[in-house]
Amino acid sequence: MPPIRPHGKAKNFKGSMKQLFGTMKPFIIPIIFALVISIVGTILALVLPNITKQIGEEIFTSYKLGIKIDMAKIMSIAIYIICLLVVSSMFSYFQGFVMSGVSARVTKKLRTKISEKINKLPLKYFDNQSYGDILSRVTNDVDTIGQTFNQSLSRIVTCLTMVIGSIVMMFANSWQLTLLTLSATPISVILVAVVVKLSQKHFAKQQKSLGKLNGIVEENYSAHNIIRTFNHEIKAQDEFEYTNKDLFSSSFKSQFLSGIMYPIINFISNLVYVFVCVFGGILSIENPLFAVTIVAFIEYMRIFNQQIGDVAQISGNIQSAAAASERVFEFLNQQEQPTESDNKQKIEQVKGLVEFKNVSFGYDENKTIIHNFSATVLPGQKVAIVGPTGAGKTTMVNLLMRFYEVQEGDILVDGISIKDMKREDVRSLFGMVLQDTWIFDGTIRENIAFGSPNKTNEEVENACCFAHIDHFIRSLPNGYDMVLDETANISQGQRQLLTIARAMVNNSPMLILDEATSSVDTRTEIQIQKAMDKLMEGRTSFVIAHRLSTIQNADQILVMRDGNIVEQGTHESLLAMNGFYAELYNSQFAE
């Protein structure tokens, strides 16, 4: 007795189903094949009770006439039935076999599409999208679609065949009893609809209080220290009990209501069963052989009634598949970054001259944060970007790397606008070391050679020597082949050194560095500084600085505040201006 699952409602049922069917197109032949054999198999299975009836008739007639039963005849009927049975089961298995193949391929394709889509969307999309949400589309939603495919698609067809077939067979046996049976159907259908509607309301409530409870639990456990030191345990427990009580009542109600659907259907069908027995009996008074027909009829009636419960379940499944595919396609239909087949400009020998010409930009199109910014960075120069937390220092990185596009003005590298180059060509100009040191599951070697898988082991190891991390790597179990994952015990500082080595291997003509070292101890910090200095030698570099002490030798300093560039110049000239930079600089020493 599977419970009715709660499911989200699809806002655009037709639209998402249409797209889902579009995905199935390449598999149309196997799908049709599966559906046809499942119809044939079902029809074969439907004939069975009627043939079994012949055995009953044989037995009954001989009883009436007082003669022995003709066993040869019984045997031939039995063997016939068994053959039909085997064929019908085989067909039904084939159908399952083919449909599992199709559903596995369709779900795989959807997952691949989502994964590829991630790489094609503009970064802007991810700014206001939680990762958990996208992840759940890749797994949960795609799984839901797969399961529906696997189970419900052919069940719709068999269900329909069964309903039509069993009605036909019931009429063939007795039209009177059939009318009797069918008259009860609307009652069952209405009752089922009412119960489903009621229970769904409580399922929705249950989901809601469950979500709320999960939130409370998560919050309390992750902030356990704070709860304890602020003596908040009792209050937290009260709040928890309140929601817990809600959950109790809604989960009890939904459990109960979904549980009584089957007994109610059962009762109605039992009632019909009784009437069929009695009326059949009355009909048999005239014709005793009719007793055998009752047995076959009851069998068809059972098949017919079963479908009513199934229809409720299938329609639930399809609803949730529609909701899931809506979420999947909503993601897949997001606007991608424009393609750039026309951008043919390429720089062969990079000198490293970067010009900002009247650049304006805002994350929100109506809210410009960088106003008309211009600067020229000569080859090999070091540009430092400074400013308080949250001043928007990464904005410059986003623009240079074309993670975001400038709204007005232009950025030129060696005189060529980065807009006229392919995004990948722009990005290959810069090596990048970011504050969040991104390490993926894989060996240290793979992590360092990321983006340039053709590099030799020697090149990787050389880069690590430069980054002062070679010794550390060799001291690890398996050295360069050690697999890094969540459990790998390497510190934040070591991670940072690894990403520096990564940029080193990449050997791009220009650099973008984020030198955040707030969670690193002093000794490592000095190592990181040295490694970065080495990396910057002879390269045009942009450094997001957190320590003012390290950028005094920068060729240019851009001072940012509230998203905008408020001052630019060298350390000395900025100090002489006695503006925001000077204020920042002095505040770290002043008493």
Partner 1 sequence: MIKLLKHLKWYDYILSIIILGVTVFQVWLNMSLIERMGEIIGLIQAHSIGMPLGSGDLWNVGYKMILIALGICGCVILVTFLASTVSARFSKIIRSRIFEKVNSFSMEEMNKFSTASLITRSTNDVKQVEMTLFTTLRMAVTAPVMAAFAIGKIVGSSIELTWTTIGALGLMLMLVLFLFFVAVPKFTSIQKKTDKINNVTRENLTGIRVVRAYNAESEQEQKFEGVNEDLTKTNLFVNRMMSLLFPGMDLVMNGLSVAIYWIGAYLINIEALQYPTIVTFIQYAMHVLISFMLIALLFVLIPRGVVSAKRINEVLDTKSKICDGKGVNPEQKGCIEFKNVSFKYPDAEMCVLENISFKVNQGETIAFIGSTGSGKSTLINLIPRFFDVSEGQVLVDGEDVRDYKISELNDKLGYVPQKGYLFSGTVKSNMLFGKEDATDDEINQALKISQAEFVHTLEGDLEHEISQGGTNVSGGQRQRLSIARAVIKNPEIYIFDDSFSALDYKTDKELRKALNKYTKDATKIIVAQRVGTIIDADKIVVLDEGKMVGYGTHNELMETCDVYKEIANSQLGQKEGE
Render 202-248 in DSSP notation, one character per residue.
HHHHHHHHHHHHHHHHHHHHHTHHHHHHTT-HHHHHHHHHHHHHHHH
Q: Which of 13, 15, 43, 143 binds partner 1 (CB under 8 A)?
A: 143
Task: Give the residue, chosen from 9, 21, 183, 215, that forms a contact with partner 1 under the rule CB under 8 A.
Answer: 215
Using alpha carbons only, how large is the chain's radius of gyration in Å? Answer: 36
Considering only residues 15-54, where is the footprint of partner 1 by CB under 8 A? Answer: 45, 48, 52
310 touching partner 1, by CB under 8 A: no
Cα(428)–Cα(451) distance, integer angstroms: 10
Residues 437-456 that bind partner 1 (CB under 8 A): 438, 440-441, 450-453
What letter would DSSP give residue 367?
B
Minimum separation from the CB atom of position 214 to partner 1 (A): 5
Which part of the chain contacts partner 1 (CB under 8 A), choosing from 10-18, 274-282, 352-360, 455-463?
A: 274-282
Interface positions, 170-209, toward partner 1 (CB under 8 A): none
Q: Which of 9, 36, 89, 407 binds partner 1 (CB under 8 A)?
A: 89
Of the pair 40, 357, the CB lying nearest partner 1 is at 40
Report the residue number, 214 or 457, with the smaller CB distance to partner 1: 214
Distance, in Å, from the CA atom of 293 to the CA atom of 175, rounded to the nearest integer, reads 12
Q: State the burial class of residue 549 (Cβ atoms within 10 Å of its Cβ: 0-12, 13-18, 19+).
A: exposed
The residues in 350-369 that bind partner 1, with binding defined as CB under 8 A, are: none
Neighbours of 192 (CB within 10 A): 19
Q: Is 471 exposed, middle or buried (0-12, 13-18, 19+ CB in 10 A)?
A: exposed
506 binds partner 1 (CB under 8 A): yes
Q: Does 388 bind partner 1 (CB under 8 A)?
A: yes
**521 counts as binding partner 1 under rule CB under 8 A:** yes
- Rule CB under 8 A: choose which of 23, 144, 150, 527 binds partner 1: 150
* Secondary structure, 3-state, 373-395: EEEEECCCCEEEEECCCCCCCHH
d(CA 328, CA 143): 11
The yes or no reply on residue 273 touching partner 1 (CB under 8 A) is yes
Q: Which one, 436 or 481, has the nearer CB to partner 1?
A: 436
> Which backbone phi and psi does 241 adopt, to 5 degrees?
-60, -35
> Applying CB under 8 A, which of residues 193, 252, 338, 346 lies at the interface with partner 1?
252
- Least Å distance between CB 283 and partner 1? 10
In angstroms, what is the minimal distance from the CB of 364 to partner 1? 15
List of residues 6+ apart from 14 with CB closer than 8 A: none
Q: Are 145 and 324 in contact (CB under 8 A)?
A: yes
Residue 562 interacts with partner 1 (CB under 8 A): yes or no? no
Smallest gap from Cβ 246 to partner 1, in A, equals: 10
* Residue 119 vs 366, nearer CB to partner 1: 119
**φ and ψ at residue 387, rounded to 5 degrees:** 155, 160
